[in-house]
Amino acid sequence: MSAVNEVRDSYDVAVVGAGPAGLTAATACAAAGLATVLFDEQPAPGGQIYRAITQTPVQRASILGNDYWYGARLVRDFQASRAQYVPGATVWSLSREREIGVSTGGAARLTQAKRVIIATGALERPFPIPGWTLPGVMTAGAGQILLKSGAMVPQGRTLLAGCGPLLWLLAWQYLNAGVKIDAILDTTARASRSAAWPHAPAFLFSPYFRKGLRLMLSVRRRTKVIAGVTGLRAEGNSRLQQVAYRTADGAEIRLPADTLLLHQGVVPNVNLAMSVGIEHRWDDDQLCWVPVVDGYGGTSVDGVAIAGDGAGIAGAWAAEERGKLAALAAIRALKPDTRQDILPDEANIRLALAKVERGRLFLDRYYQPAASFRIPRGDTIVCRCEEVTAQQIIDTVALGCTGPNQMKSFLRCGMGPCQGRLCGLTVTELMAQTRGVPPAEIGHYRLRPPVKPITLGELAALPKDEAAIKAVVRG
């Protein structure tokens, strides 16, 4: 691996994202002799799950657990490869012709790739409850990042709330580290649980089954878990002071709190893929937009593949295999005469993939967050950047807005710096519910570059041709 920050004019393969999918994809492409670059916005490789693995101060292996340390191997293999690694690199545009706009160290530039593998992973599903913008409220993923990368843990009265495997994992890691958790407010919906049971037998054979069960039991032994929570609210005057909720038997409870960590699953990070016009579909099990991909991650845009959770949530082990499959397709296209023993072994990959994907539907259904936590009402903020409430969005439907794009121009919802990442799904589902049509009919914001902000100065310094200049300069 060469870690020069010098971005070249062109590559055979450009991979975006240094999580498990991106790491294996880049390693395999480089092994086949393709000129490969891996861009990642973070300062170190690992993505979200293996965040800071090369530099975490948390050296007591028992805190983060074996599944975290497993990632060190992926990073080592990548580091041993000939791929170029560019950390601190934000990819802010991708064109259909596979021209990539990337920013490092405050300078933007353009580079061209024959193949692009998008491995930008997942982000946490929005959790729009009253008060979720108060300081003191953050995502469970954020809490975990502070732990992995800075050995930092919450102090004072700490509550975790929501549903999904990551919430339990974080609780387990905190407890291992000696953190006191006041309570876990479990919002898993009864309806979701019953919808999941038919898929339980398949899940029994999933590698996640035993792990998950053991972890959950271990957490339950060590801290208070309150099931069937509804009506969750964060309250406080300019910072979190208490958390209010309703119990399964209808009692209204208020707990004083300094930190509230929220989580209700992860969803694909689709902004880059959508901005280049890759076709997406609404997934009724995962309740999110998912790119339409073939068996190798290939998309509706020629030469652009998506690997890992960005192509649909399946977890880190699957991401690793899907990264290799995307690499395989790139190698076959660019170097068809590559020797068999250098190519990733497709049969093995598919076997491994089948194993880790077994029973996925059970997890999807079991942890499907309840509608009341996805589709807020009243004054609850939906768009954190522009401070737009649920009721305002509902009112635009009465004005004739049929989808997010007209609504956005009426309310500025989704126009802030996060570019709809924290409100897009909420908006789609909220408008669908209000209009009484399926989310697929509502659609998503139309996204355009830059998918991440760059400075005007950076943009101004890019190369431009005569036609571009003529299109702008006038008398």
Ligand X SMILES: Cc1cc2nc3c(=O)[nH]c(=O)nc-3n(C[C@H](O)[C@H](O)[C@H](O)COP(=O)(O)OP(=O)(O)OC[C@H]3O[C@@H](n4cnc5c(N)ncnc54)[C@H](O)[C@@H]3O)c2cc1C
Residues 302-331 that bind ligand X (CB under 6 A): 308-310, 315-316, 319
CB of 10 to other proteins, least distance (A): 15
Cβ contact 155:258 at 8 Å: yes
12 makes contact with ligand X (CB under 6 A): no
Q: Which one of residues 4, 6, 9, 59 is an interface residue with other proteins (CB under 8 A)?
A: 59
The Cα–Cα gap between 441 and 432 comes to: 8
What is the x/- site pattern for ligand X, positions 114-133, by CB under 6 A? -----xxxxxx---------
Report DSSP state, residue 343.
Answer: S
412 makes contact with other proteins (CB under 8 A): yes
> What residue 55 binds from other proteins, ligand X, none (CB within 5 to 8 A, per partner kind)?
other proteins
CB of 150 to ligand X, least distance (A): 14
Helical H segments across 32-100, by residue range? 61-64, 66-69, 71-80
CB of 67 to other proteins, least distance (A): 19
Residue type, 58: V
DSSP string, 388-436: EEHHHHHHHHHTT--SHHHHHHHH-TT-STTTTTTTHHHHHHHHHHHHT
Cβ contact 380:130 at 8 Å: yes
CB of 296 to ligand X, least distance (A): 15
Burial per residue of 11-38, b for 16 or more beta-carbon CB atoms within 10 angstroms, e otherwise: bbbbbbbbbbbbbbbbbbbbbbebbbbb
Task: Output 53 or 334, the one with its CB closest to ligand X.
Answer: 53
The Cα–Cα gap between 51 and 68 comes to: 9
Question: Which residues between 131 and 150 bind ligand X (CB under 6 A)?
Answer: 141, 144
Task: Output 350 or 464, the one with its CB closest to other proteins.
Answer: 464
390 makes contact with ligand X (CB under 6 A): no
22 makes contact with ligand X (CB under 6 A): yes
256 makes contact with other proteins (CB under 8 A): no
Tokens 């024959």 belong to 114
When computed from its CA atoms, the radius of gyration of the chain, rounded to whole angstroms, is: 23
The vertex-359 CA angle with 355 and 363, nearest 5°, equals 130
The Cα–Cα gap between 64 and 62 comes to: 6
The Cα–Cα gap between 28 and 139 comes to: 33
Task: Output 207 or 457, the one with its CB closest to other proteins.
Answer: 457
Q: Which one of residues 2, 5, 8, 43 is an interface residue with other proteins (CB under 8 A)?
A: 43
The vertex-7 CA angle with 6 and 10, nearest 5°, equals 140
Stretch that binds other proteins, among 71-79, 247-255, 326-334, 442-450 (CB under 8 A): 442-450
CB of 247 to other proteins, least distance (A): 26
CB of 86 to ligand X, least distance (A): 9
> What residue 189 binds from ligand X, other proteins, none (CB within 5 to 8 A, per partner kind)?
none
Question: Which residues between 118 and 147 bind other proteins (CB under 8 A)?
Answer: 123-124, 133, 135-139, 141-142, 145-146
Helical pair 20-31 and 316-334, crossing angle rounded to 10 deg: 30
Stretch that binds ligand X, among 33-41, 195-203, 328-336, 392-400 (CB under 6 A): 33-41
20 makes contact with ligand X (CB under 6 A): yes
CB of 118 to other proteins, least distance (A): 16
